[in-house]
Amino acid sequence: MTNPFREDLVSRSRPEPCTVVIFGATGDLTHRKLVPAIYNLAIDGELPPGVKILGFARREKSDEEFRKGLEELNRKVSRSGHDDAIWAKFQENIHYHQSEFTDADGYKRLAERLDAIDRERGGKGNRLFYVASAP
């Protein structure tokens, strides 16, 4: 038997927090679409707490350099505008890992880095992998 009072209610469940690993993280798709979209989820209050982003790319960058580049472009392209307070909290969970796509040791270091991020920032080993690079 259904409850007639609940018929028009929409129940939205939040996904479990995860670490989003973006392969090709220094490219245009990541800068102009992916990170602004995830940021907009944070602005809208739809991003689960504890979601982390780990960019994977060939260019040498520190976490801070990666964050700074994302912030500069996000100020220009975010549909919601840029909120310094929300960005400050959002960027705490952005990390960068440099490696060639063909380097097997780079993937071993990636696994170690993911485990370290989970230990430091909290996490259950839940991962989402996104390939944002040309085939």
Res 125: pLDDT: 87
Among left, alpha and beta (phi > 0; psi -120 to 50; other), residue 122 is: left
Q: What is the pLDDT along the chain (135 residues), one digit of tens a residue?
A: 566 666 666 666 777 889 999 999 999 999 999 999 999 999 998 888 889 999 999 999 999 999 999 999 999 988 888 899 999 999 999 999 999 999 999 999 999 999 999 998 888 889 999 999 887
Among left, alpha and beta (phi > 0; psi -120 to 50; other), residue 125 is: left
Q: Which CATH number fits domain 16-131: 3.10.20.520, 3.90.1150.10, 3.30.9.30, 3.40.50.720?
A: 3.40.50.720
Res 3: pLDDT: 64
Where are the chain's structural domains? 16-131
**19 vs 60: CA distance, rounded Å:** 21
**Torsion angles phi and psi, residue 55, rounded to 5:** -85, 135
Q: What is the CA radius of gyration of the chain?
A: 17
**69 vs 29: CA distance, rounded Å:** 14
Is the CB of residue 22 less than 8 Å from the CB of residue 52? no
